[in-house]
Amino acid sequence: MSKVTLTFCAGKDRRLTWARKDEDYVADFCLVSRRTLDEFEYKVFRYHFLLGADWRLCCRQMKIDRGTFFHAVYRIQQKLGRVFRDLEPYSLFPLDEYFGGSVRKAPSPTAPDVIEMPRPPVAPPLLRTA
């Protein structure tokens, strides 16, 4: 997995830099997941998604029932999917943009089948009254 690539970067002194994009992606993926999920969710994430254990083994190891496990999995997928897409300045999804593909600001007019997911509206902060 250790592959070094020469990539373009915008800078004053250099136009090319060496990078290990695969390792960078794995590190970003794991760190963002750890920061986003609570302790129980991260334990489920680690066993099921990172280590590849099936639901029976996870339920036995964590001493939880099947329903609790699958509800946790769905919650993890929803949380991390949104975080990976909305991460700034570089999102972890879509992968082609992370690994140096073309960065799209808006859908191309030649590709009408591209659907861009709308970002949720930002809720105004709650005001406290004394």
pLDDT at 54 over 90: yes
Q: Which domains does the chain have, with CATH numbers?
A: 5-98 (1.10.10)
Q: What is the pLDDT of residue 122?
A: 78
Q: Does 94 sit behind a cis peptide bond, omega within 30 degrees of 0 on the bond before it?
A: yes
Q: Where are the beta strands (DSSP E) in 1-130?
A: 5-8, 16-19
The more confidently predicted of residues 25 and 31 is 31
Taking each helix axis as running N to C, give the angle between helix 66-86 and helix 55-62, from 0 to 180 degrees, rounded to the nearest 10: 110
